Structure formats: C-alpha cells, structure tokens
Chain A
Amino acid sequence: MADTPLAHQFDDVAQQREAAGLGMWTFLATEVLFFGGLFTVYTVYRVKDSAAFVEACHELYMWLGAINTVVLLTSSWTMALGVHAAQHGERRRAVSFLVRTAVLGLVFLLIKGTEYSLDIRERLVPGPGFRAEWTVDPTHAQLFFVLYFVMTGLHAVHMLAGIGVVSAMAFMVWKSRSSTHHANALEMAGLYWHFVDIVWIFLFPLLYLVA
C-alpha cells in the first residue's frame, strides 16, 4: 500500500486509510438505518396481517430466491479473494476475481429480473391490475407485494451500483502497474459488496420464508 497516492488533506497514507475505512463504515451505518426503516414497516404489517402475508408469500418463487442467495454468497467469496489478491500484488488474479464478482452480480440481477417478469405475468404488481382472487383481504396481500417490490427493488439498485463500482475497479486494476495501488479502495468496495449481500441474507427469509 505504499504507492497509494496521498490526497492533499491527509498527513500520511495511514491517516488516509483510516479515514477511508471509517467513512465506509459510517456510510454503511446510514444504509442500515435506510433499509432498517423499510424492515420496520414490513415487520409491523407482517405482525398485523400475518394471514395475508403467508398467503401472499406463497406466490413468490422461493427456489429462484434461494438460487440468488447462493449466487450472492459466492460473489462475496470471490470479492474477498479479489481484495486479498490485490493486497498481495497479484494483479491478474485480482482482476479475474473482480470480474467474476461482477458477473455473479449480473446473474443475480438476471434471475431477479426473471422473477419480476413472472410476477408481472401473474398480476402480482400492485396497482389497478393487481390480482383480486385471494382468500384474505386483497388490500393486505397487495401491501405485501408493495413491500416486496420496494425492498427487493431498493436492494437491486444497490446491487447495480455495486456492480458498477466493482467493474470500474476491475478495469482500473487491470490498467495499473501494481494492484496494491488500489488495494485501499478495493477493500472499501469489498465492505460495500458484503453489506449488500448481508441485506439480501435478511431479505430472503423475511420475504420468501414466511412460514
């Protein structure tokens, strides 16, 4: 990490690294609160309308969600390997792992997109065209799907941002002479990627596994 360029406001590289790390953790704290607000809304309605949420949940494609969980966990693994490789100066290995991470992220989004198109076909999208045939109150079932689309949609937006960052970093590491040049930034990107993964680890059981 000795050849990371030093920004003018910092005294030395160690300070810069500490600041970047604390900055990323603080940012992740804001994301926890952001998703946390949504999770709170979901939990309140899940308790209030449990019967409706159980019935609505059965319409989701649990196996697609499960596959996606495995995909994301694998991508976190490749990301960690990529960061590790970069820190040890293994430029090509680092790029390879970063690319694999981004690809897995795209696979996740493709599967999610497939799920969404199936949901659209089954008239599960809230709004005027929402399916009306439920044993429970349709408005409660619709509420489940509002939260489902908002929560997974918000997560997907974060995934997209993460894929963009990882791809950009892969390109920069590939172009650079030494991967340690970007090791700091990669570590921060890794933190972000793991966070987005953890959000999914919470989302999946909450949404797909309402017993």
Chain B
Amino acid sequence: MTMRVLAQSRGFSLWPESASTSAEDVDLVYLALLGLTLFFVVLIGAMALGFGVKYRAGAKSFRDHPIRKTLPIELTWIVAPLVMTLVIFVWGASVFVDLGTPPADARSIYVVGKQWMWKVQHPGGRQEINELHVPTAESIKLVLTSQDVIHSFYVPAFRIKRDALPNQYTSLWFRATRPGVYHLFCAEYCGTDHARMRGSVVVMTPTDYQQWLAEEVTERRSDGATRGRDEEKESGPDSATSRRIDVSTSPSAFVEFGCAACHQSNTTDAGPNLAGLFGRTVRLADGRVVVADEEFLRRSILEPNHAIPSGYGNSSSMPTYAGQINDDQMAELVEFIKSLETNGEGATQPDWPATTP
C-alpha cells in the first residue's frame, strides 16, 4: 500500500527550494535583478541622504554652484539604465524562450485542472489526483487543460507556471534535479476553493520512478492512520486511485472512435496519413502554415473544419467529435497519434501535405 505523499512543511525560510534546471536559470536572472535593484537603491538613497543632509535649512553649505550643462547628465541617466535593462531583457527572454520550448524527447504528462483539483494522467502509466510523480534528469512536458475556468499550474520549486485554459491545450516543461516533495499550487483565482487547489510534486530518482510506475495501487482507506500528519488541507477525493492506461500498445480510442477507418485504411478517398505528423510544420487549405502540436491535434479532432489540409477542398468530410470525447480519451488519442511513426501496412492514403519551401 502506498502512502499518500504530502509536501512537508519546511518551516520558516527566506528562499524557496530549488529542484529543477529551470529554477537555477530563473534564480540567476533574479539575483542579477537584485544586484541592479541594490545598485539603484543605494545610489538614489545616498544621493538623497547626501543632499538632504548637506542642503538642509540652517546648514552652512556652499550653494552657489549650479549645474550648467544639464543635457549630458540627463542623457546619462537615460542611457545607462536603458543599457542595463536591455541586458536583463535579453537574458530573461532567452531563459523564457528556452523554458517555452520543450525538447522533442520530453515525456508528456497530461494535466486537467477543474474546480478545485488537479487530475494527472501519465500515458502508459498511472493517473493521480493532486499529485505528480516525476523522475529526475528527464525532460517532462505537461500538457494542461481545464474543464471549467482558467487555472494555473504552479510549482515554486521549479519556478514555473502556466495557465490551464478551458477548451485548449497549453504546455510547460521542466527537468527536475532533486528528489523531494514540493508544493503544487493553483495560481489563477478560480472560485471558492481556489486556496485548496493544492497538491504535491514528488520528484524521484529514475529507478524509484520506474518502480512507482509499475506498481498497482489499490484504493486507500480514508481512516486516520493512513491520512497521517497532514498539516495541509487538500481537496479532492480522499482516495488516490490509479488506473493504468497503456496508450502505446492498445490504440483503443483510435479504433473505438472510428479514426482508423479513414486514417489507416486502404481506401483512396480517405483522410490523410497521421504518421509522423506530430511536430511537423504543415500547410492548411486556407493558406495558413502551422505547427502540428498537441493543441492542433486536439482542435482538429473537435473542429475538423478548422484544420483542413491543403488540397482537401474547402470543407472537411471528417465528422466532428465535439462533445463525444472526454479529456482522458483526448489525451490518449493525442498521445497515440504522436506515437505513430510509420504508415500502416498497405496504407495508400497520402501523407499530410508538407509546406512548400
């Protein structure tokens, strides 16, 4: 039986824990900004204090030396701060772009936020509620969505957050470095129990993580003993259930919803082949050029007319699946499509058209 893991109360501290590569990167920018702040506060404070004391009424200071040339001084305090802030901008922007570009080999984990809990689904693994188990030293990409209002998935120890939007996928990625249990918060106000939409991110060594993935977890009794010393109040059901969904070997949703009929068949006037589609830049019928990411796949399934491939006419003959697929099934489907690398045996339909150079 697995114990429910709670983020331990660390006690009073002035600096947050650091558990990912992103945390280190962000902290460096922060420290640079602290240095800049200290510099200006000391400079301005010293000037103010200096002048304030020297030229106070009643002080016998020499006052007849006005500054004649004001332009060089004005330019100094325009240009110098401008240069400093531009340096910080470039640095911060490069970290931001890096944190906004998940590596291609990142493991995807799907997260659904709803009032007032987080549901986590590991493809090929387990489901969790208000907990996220991840290994160190591996790039993890979280694909986020919401079932109702805007939430925000925030892990202070990783120094990252991303809003979870309804009817849309957003994503963030990280690479954990230190095993431990860390806070997970909802950072976007989402209603009555927004404060209780909290959980834990459990970072484990890769070996421990593999072990955890393979475990079968039975429903935990909600008696006092196993609840343990929770200083925190966590919402959501008392039992941490899990279900194994092995997407890579059982394309159940793909077949169940009839996708294979058009996208993996031998008929000639069918839908385009989806093998290798994920991550490619593709051209659409209305001229737009887009990257086929998770959000694109999701939207194409729910609104086929939104993403007709170039050369397939003006109106899609694919039926819409809006209202028929829940978040878990959508995650399965998207992960399955991502995993498609080769055409099915004897499949004759054309590939999704690539962009013209």
Q: Which residues in A have some Cβ–Cβ distance to B below 8 Å?
A: 50-51, 136-137
Neighbouring B residues of A50 by C-beta, 8 Å: 286
Among B305, B320, B322, the most chain A Cβ lie within 10 Å of the Cβ of B305
Rounded to whole Å, the gap between the CB of B302 and the closest CB of chain A is 10
Neighbouring A residues of B305 by C-beta, 8 Å: 51, 136
Against A, the Cβ 8 Å flags (1 = close, 0 = not) of B299-343 are 000010100000000000000101000000000000000000000
List 6 A-B pairs, Cβ < 8 Å: A50-B286, A51-B305, A136-B305, A137-B303, A137-B320, A137-B322
**Which residue of chain A has the shortest Cβ distance to B305 in the bound complex?**
A51
**Which residue of chain B has the shortest Cβ distance to A49 in the bound complex?**
B306
Neighbouring A residues of B322 by C-beta, 8 Å: 137
CA distance A136 to B303 in the complex (A): 10
Neighbouring B residues of A137 by C-beta, 8 Å: 303, 320, 322
Q: Which residues in B have some Cβ–Cβ distance to A below 8 Å?
A: 286, 303, 305, 320, 322
Rounded to whole Å, the gap between the CB of B170 and the closest CB of chain A is 17
**Which residue of chain B has the shortest Cβ distance to A50 in the bound complex?**
B286
CA distance A50 to B305 in the complex (A): 11
CA distance A56 to B303 in the complex (A): 18
**Which residue of chain A has the shortest Cβ distance to B286 in the bound complex?**
A50
Neighbouring B residues of A51 by C-beta, 8 Å: 305
Rounded to whole Å, the gap between the CB of B256 and the closest CB of chain A is 24
CA distance A51 to B303 in the complex (A): 12
Rounded to whole Å, the gap between the CB of A56 and the closest CB of chain B is 14
Neighbouring A residues of B320 by C-beta, 8 Å: 137
Rounded to whole Å, the gap between the CB of B322 and the closest CB of chain A is 8
Rounded to whole Å, the gap between the CB of A70 and the closest CB of chain B is 34
Rounded to whole Å, the gap between the CB of A18 and the closest CB of chain B is 34
CA distance A137 to B305 in the complex (A): 10
**Which residue of chain B has the shortest Cβ distance to A52 in the bound complex?**
B305
Rounded to whole Å, the gap between the CB of A134 and the closest CB of chain B is 12
Rounded to whole Å, the gap between the CB of B171 and the closest CB of chain A is 21
Neighbouring B residues of A136 by C-beta, 8 Å: 305
CA distance A50 to B286 in the complex (A): 10
**Which residue of chain B has the shortest Cβ distance to A48 in the bound complex?**
B306
Rounded to whole Å, the gap between the CB of A209 and the closest CB of chain B is 19
CA distance A136 to B316 in the complex (A): 11
Rounded to whole Å, the gap between the CB of B134 and the closest CB of chain A is 35
Sorted from nearest, which 6 A-B pairs have the closest CB atoms?
Answer: A51-B305, A137-B303, A136-B305, A137-B322, A50-B286, A137-B320
CA distance A50 to B320 in the complex (A): 17
Neighbouring A residues of B303 by C-beta, 8 Å: 137
Rounded to whole Å, the gap between the CB of B335 and the closest CB of chain A is 26
**Which residue of chain A has the shortest Cβ distance to B303 in the bound complex?**
A137
CA distance A51 to B305 in the complex (A): 9
Rounded to whole Å, the gap between the CB of A31 and the closest CB of chain B is 32
**Which residue of chain A has the shortest Cβ distance to B320 in the bound complex?**
A137
CA distance A137 to B316 in the complex (A): 13
Rounded to whole Å, the gap between the CB of A194 and the closest CB of chain B is 38
CA distance A71 to B12 in the complex (A): 73
CA distance A74 to B286 in the complex (A): 40
Rounded to whole Å, the gap between the CB of A54 and the closest CB of chain B is 11
Rounded to whole Å, the gap between the CB of A143 and the closest CB of chain B is 14
